[in-house]
Amino acid sequence: MAALHKITVYKPLDIKNPFLEGQDRAYADILQDKFNEMKFWRKIIGISFVVLFSISLLLFWRAVSMQQVVPVLVNVMPTGEAVYLGAVRQAGSLQIPEAAIHFQIRSFITYFRSVSIDPQVLYNNIDTTFSMVTSNYAPIMTNWLRANSPFQLLGSIRRSVEIESIIRITQNSYQVDWFENTIEATGHSSTIRMRGIITISLFTPPPDVIRRNPLGIFIDNFEWTQL
């Protein structure tokens, strides 16, 4: 039996297409407004990201360029000796007392010119003097010690230093007078009088010597002679 199909024909509705030229463009205007609004916010977000990235970059370079030295707390004893007490969270302007400079000069000359009967003590004294000198004077002192090694005197003499006076002659230079008392292995003793000119330099000590030289008092030059 043949199938029967019902055909329905709908009449076109009398409704205007709002997107046709010359017709109502209300919908198109709404869509265009939404598109313009979306484009505007995209531009705002893009500019905001660029500004935030620029600020972050500036803060990063600012942090990198900031001073990396950690301030420390130092107690200066009445004798001028500087005692390292540890790091502090806040740092102010540090005034170096003259007594501390005199103590550093006395210590440097004593360690540099003394000769102990104990080789370890002598080594420690020489090692300590290198924490007191600048990078300019360190190679000069190294060359002098190579030519006049105090270790060659071990077992033959014992020399002690007695500081007589320290006089400031310029802004950074001091005249130092001292006695060197020498006792030979034979028991013979002698005393000579010495005079030296020391030039100092004050700056923040590097981390590797900050505990041994916390105030940053460095010997920049040292010349001496026998009187």
The pLDDT tens digits for 85-108 are 555 443 334 577 888 889 999 999
Which band of pLDDT confidence, cut at 50, 70 and 90, is reported for residue 33? confident
Q: Mind listing the domains of the chain with CATH numbers?
A: 72-86+97-226 (3.10.450.230)
The DSSP bridge partners found for residue 73 are: 86
Q: What does the pLDDT read at residue 222?
A: 94
Q: Of 82, 138, 74, 150, nearest to 112 (Cα)?
A: 150
Confidence (pTM): 0.61
Q: Which long-range contacts (CB under 8 A, 24 or more apart) does 122-125 make?
A: 122/150, 122/151, 122/154
Residues contacting 21, CB < 8 A, separation 6+: none
